Amino acid sequence: MVAEKATLVLGGAALGAVSFAAYQKFSQKKPAVPVMNRPPVQAPPPPVPVSSGPSINNIDKAKTILPFGFPGPVNDIVYRSAYVTSYNRRDRNPNWVAEHLTQDSLKRGPDVDRQKSNFKEDDGIPEKFRARLNDYFRSGFDRGHMVPAADVKNSQVSMDETFYLTNIAPQVGQGFNRDYWAHLEHFCRELTRKFSDVYVFTGPLYLPHQEADGKFYVKYQVIGNPPNVAVPTHFYKVILTHHQGRYSVGAFVLPNQPIPDQTPLTAFKVPLDAVERGAV
């Protein structure tokens, strides 16, 4: 069972070999780890239910975002121009959100401005299962992006799509969403300097916590009126990099709470299967 803030070992990753400044800010240097020649699992995208009336272009784009198939769970799939997400009707949060970063995808398009974007509900989700803008009103939590707007600067339409609530989950603001989490997002973008392809999978977790009686409990706050939107205890990022036929993978689980900036990213490394178990 995964306890809160467990310090685990990085599974199959060679990200420790990355030498540029963003990685140095968050990690301690590690000896290089042999990389895999290819990811261990390949699977064609399965037939999935589709919400939000995806365009053919967005479905084709999904093949570049998820070249090895869909992670699980697979339900309420939403296709956007720069990401693919699976939505959880019970928690009113994404199960996971996938994106594909390259140096070209991060270039700013003409007249693209975050100030033009607004948070919005996803009409593709049935109304009674939809996260609502009012759910976040005076909740004390930020509307935290899974795919950040800064990853999608190549078109205004794509940036606007990152503000759908199907790409959002409640995050602690000061010390997390506006600070350490934002630094981690920047780190992912910086990886494109070293690797030709960076695939990022992001999502919420609801992990057990050991209490005074020695037993483990899964407890989390729910916001909204009526209270419907679950507040995750943790968030994960799984990063798969590719360059010249070689793949590396790293997985990180961060508590949804203020994290001091000086905390090394290595403190949150976990084996990939720890994320897979926790995200089910």
CATH number of the domain to which 67 belongs: 3.40.570.10
Instruction: Tell me, yes or no, whether 76 lies in a domain.
Output: yes
pLDDT of residue 56: 57
pLDDT at 54: 55
State pLDDT tens for residues 243-259.
999 999 999 999 999 99
Q: Is the pTM of this model over 0.75?
A: yes
Residue numbers belonging to the annotated binding site for Mg(2+): 177
| 272 located within any domain | yes
Q: Is residue 199 assigned to a domain?
A: yes
The tens digit of pLDDT for each residue in 43-83 reads 334 434 444 455 557 778 888 999 989 898 888 999 999 99
**For residue 6, is it within any domain?**
no
Is residue 10 situated within a structural domain?
A: no
Structural domain count of the chain: 1
Q: Can you name the residues that pair with 248 across neighbouring β-strands?
A: 241
Residue 7 maps to a domain:
no
Containing structural domain, residue 152: 15-278
Q: Annotated catalytic, 234?
A: no
Distance CA 172, CA 257 (A): 6
Out of 145, 183, 209, 234, the active site residue is 145
Residue range 86-128, pLDDT digits in tens: 999 999 999 999 999 999 999 999 999 999 999 999 999 999 9
Q: Given pLDDT bands bounded at 50, 70 and 90, which one contains residue 267?
A: very high
State in Å, rounded, how far the first CA of the chain is from the last one.
13
Q: Of 118, 160, 168, which Cα lies nearest the Cα of 142?
A: 168
* In a domain? residue 8: no
Taking the CA of residue 205 as centre, how many other CA atoms within 13 Å lie in the half-sphere pointing to its CB?
A: 25
pLDDT, tens only, 192-237: 999 999 999 999 999 999 999 999 999 999 999 999 999 999 999 9
Token pair listed for 57: 């272009």
Give the per-residue pLDDT at 41: 38
Has residue 255 been placed in a domain? yes
